[in-house]
Amino acid sequence: DAKTTQPPSMDCAEGRAANLPCNHSTISGNEYVYWYRQIHSQGPQYIIHGLKNNETNEMASLIITEDRKSSTLILPHATLRDTAVYYCIVRVGGGTASKLTFGTGTRLQVTL
């Protein structure tokens, strides 16, 4: 699975958009980009995933560059409850999802 690089921490004001970047320059054509988050010490929570098209759901939007070497997770209106560690993961999708490898992620702090 391709390796990902994320900034260790970011701050965002409540109500503003939080844009979390992820570099995955060695991504292969059949690898998906997944985003999870972990609030405090709870179990990680799935947010969104995509292959090459931009994706949006009720939680966030995922923007993948045309060359697929990087992506951005967007939380359109961050709230204090979005304070968490966000993990960007790249792996082959479909089938047994899983053996997902979680790095150290980006710690997002949403402030008043």
List contacts with another protein (CB under 8 A).
Answer: 32, 34, 36, 41-46, 49, 87, 91, 93-105
Burial class (CB in 10 A: 0-12, 13-18, 19+), 109: middle
Q: Please identify, using beta-carbon distances, which residue of 41 and 53 lies nearer to another protein.
A: 41
Of 11, 9, 85, give the one whose Cα is nearest residue 47.
85
Q: Please identify, using beta-carbon distances, which residue of 14 and 55 lies nearer to another protein.
A: 55
Q: Please identify, using beta-carbon distances, which residue of 41 and 112 lies nearer to another protein.
A: 41
Q: Please identify, using beta-carbon distances, which residue of 81 and 99 lies nearer to another protein.
A: 99
User: Please, what is the Cα angle at 23 between 88 and 66, to 5 degrees?
Assistant: 105
Sign for the pseudo-dihedral over CA of 55, 37, 16, 12: negative
Give the shortest CB-6-to-another protein separation in angstroms: 10
Burial class (CB in 10 A: 0-12, 13-18, 19+), 4: buried
Give the shortest CB-42-to-another protein separation in angstroms: 6
Give the shortest CB-85-to-another protein separation in angstroms: 9
Give the shortest CB-19-to-another protein separation in angstroms: 21
